[in-house]
Amino acid sequence: MDKEIFQEFVNESGQALTQARTLLANYVAAPAEVKILADVGILVDRVYGTAATLHVESVAVLCQKMKAISYMAAQVDNRILNSIVAATMLSVLDYLLDLVKTNGLLTYKKDIHKEMANRLDLLMSKFSSNLRKTVAS
Partner 1 sequence: MSGDMRILVIDDMAVMRKIVVKQLENLGYKNIETAENGKDGLAKILDGVKNNNPVQFIISDWNMPEMSGLELLKTLKSKKPLADIPFLMVTAEGEKDQIMAAIAAGVTNYVVKPFSPNTFKEKMDLVLKKVGLPATPA
Residue ranges binding partner 1 (CB under 8 A): 2, 5, 8-9, 12-13, 16, 42, 45-46, 48-50, 52-55, 60, 64, 67, 134, 136-137
Name the nearest CA neighbour of 96 among 127, 61, 133. Answer: 61
Taking the C-alpha atoms of residue 112 and residue 97, their distance in angstroms, rounded to an integer, is 14
How many helices (H) and strands (E) the chain has is answered by 6, 0
Q: Give the residue with the Cβ less far from partner 1, 68 or 93.
A: 68
Q: Give the residue with the Cβ less far from partner 1, 16 or 23.
A: 16
Q: In the bound complex, what is the minimum distance in angstroms from residue 51's beta carbon to partner 1?
A: 8
The CA–CA distances, whole Å, from 100 to 19, 34, 113, 137 equal 14, 28, 14, 23
Q: Give the residue with the Cβ less far from partner 1, 12 or 115.
A: 12
Q: Give the residue with the Cβ less far from partner 1, 7 or 118.
A: 7
Residue type (1 letter), 105:
L
Q: In the bound complex, what is the minimum distance in angstroms from residue 80's beta carbon to partner 1?
A: 28
Taking the C-alpha atoms of residue 16 and residue 6, their distance in angstroms, rounded to an integer, is 15
Q: In the bound complex, what is the minimum distance in angstroms from residue 14's beta carbon to partner 1?
A: 12
